[in-house]
């Protein structure tokens, strides 16, 4: 058998397959470009936070009260203001904006706790918290002028954050869960934990006993106290 010197050309892919491959390559390239752009945005935001802290610390040092022979107050034993590095050491969690309302609420309280423990100046709270944003959350912060405006207070930032990441449909669903909450097969501790978890988002449904006579839609805050009382009673009866 004689083997030809020239091999036949490889089979050509159908035109539609070639088009799909080209489209796939284009999509992958677009994703890479978007990822690189987002990474650059994150670095810019982090650098902005660092610069803000450096400027704030310089202002604090310039305006620090003096005591003996003009020595800064920091040298007299007073604690210096916390920095962004101190905040990062507290281990604040990241927030991407896709985790849901329960995580968003936990994140907001956790970040505030870290800021307080690190003793970061309150004027820098928003910038420090925003340094933990990624993906949707970062895009929101950078594009919503109300949130990224210089000098925004922490209270106003919290309101805007909840407005964005506490959607009405999620709040309505949690209210429904709270109103229909029953102990069932749950232990008293599990029932009480669920009560408190849901009550964070339904303050209007919780009422003190007798505060709104004749109301049928509210859930008395005594409900949880009675649950704990029942648990303590059962514990004493077994001892």
Write down the pLDDT at residue 94: 96
The Cα 41–Cα 36 span in angstroms is 9
The 3 state secondary structure assigned to the chain is CCCCCCCCCCCCCCHHHHHHHHHHHHHHHHHHHHHHHHHHHHHHHHHHHHHHHHHHHHHHHHHCCECHHHCEHHHHCCCCCCCHHHHHHCCCCCECCCCCHHHHHHHHHHHHHHHHHHCCCHHHHHHHHHCCECHHHHHHHHHCHHHHCCCCCHHHHHHHHHHHHCCHHHHHHHHHHHHCCCCCCCCHHHHHHHHHHHHCCCHHHEECCCCCCCCCCCEECHHHHHHHHHHHHHHHHHC
Closest CA to 223 of 181, 162, 165, 168: 181
Write down the pLDDT at residue 105: 92
Write down the pLDDT at residue 192: 80
Write down the pLDDT at residue 221: 47
Which residues does 108 contact at the CB level (< 8 Å), separation at least 6? 158, 161, 162
How confident is the prediction along the chain (239 residues), in pLDDT tens digits per residue? 555 566 666 666 566 666 666 666 776 677 677 767 666 766 666 666 566 555 555 554 444 443 334 444 444 456 788 888 999 999 999 999 999 999 999 999 999 999 999 999 999 999 999 999 999 999 999 999 999 888 899 999 999 999 999 988 877 777 787 777 777 777 887 778 777 777 777 766 655 433 333 334 444 444 544 444 444 444 444 44
Q: Is 135 left (phi over 0), alpha (psi -120 to 50) or beta?
A: left
């Amino acid at each position: 058998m004689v083997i030809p010197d020239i091999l036949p050309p490889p089979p050509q892919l159908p035109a539609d397959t070639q088009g799909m491959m080209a489209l796939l390559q284009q999509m992958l390239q677009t994703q890479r470009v978007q990822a690189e752009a987002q990474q650059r945005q994150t670095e810019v935001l982090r650098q902005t936070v660092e610069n803000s802290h450096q400027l704030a610390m310089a202002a604090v040092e310039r305006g620090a009260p003096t005591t003996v022979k003009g020595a800064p107050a920091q040298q007299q034993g007073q604690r210096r203001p916390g920095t962004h590095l101190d905040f990062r050491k507290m281990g604040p969690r990241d927030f991407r904006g896709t985790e849901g309302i329960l995580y968003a609420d936990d994140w907001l309280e956790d970040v505030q706790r870290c800021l307080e423990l690190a003793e970061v100046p309150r004027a820098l709270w928003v910038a420090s918290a925003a340094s933990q944003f990624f993906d949707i959350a970062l895009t929101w912060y950078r594009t919503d002028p109300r949130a990224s405006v210089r000098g925004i207070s922490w209270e106003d930032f919290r309101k805007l954050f909840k407005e964005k990441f506490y959607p009405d449909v999620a709040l309505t669903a949690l209210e429904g869960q709270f109103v229909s909450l029953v102990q069932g097969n749950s232990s008293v501790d599990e029932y009480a934990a669920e009560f408190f978890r849901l009550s964070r988002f339904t303050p209007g449904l919780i009422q003190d006993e007798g505060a709104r006579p004749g109301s049928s839609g509210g859930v008395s805050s005594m409900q949880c106290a009675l649950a704990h009382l029942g648990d303590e009673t059962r514990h004493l009866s077994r001892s």
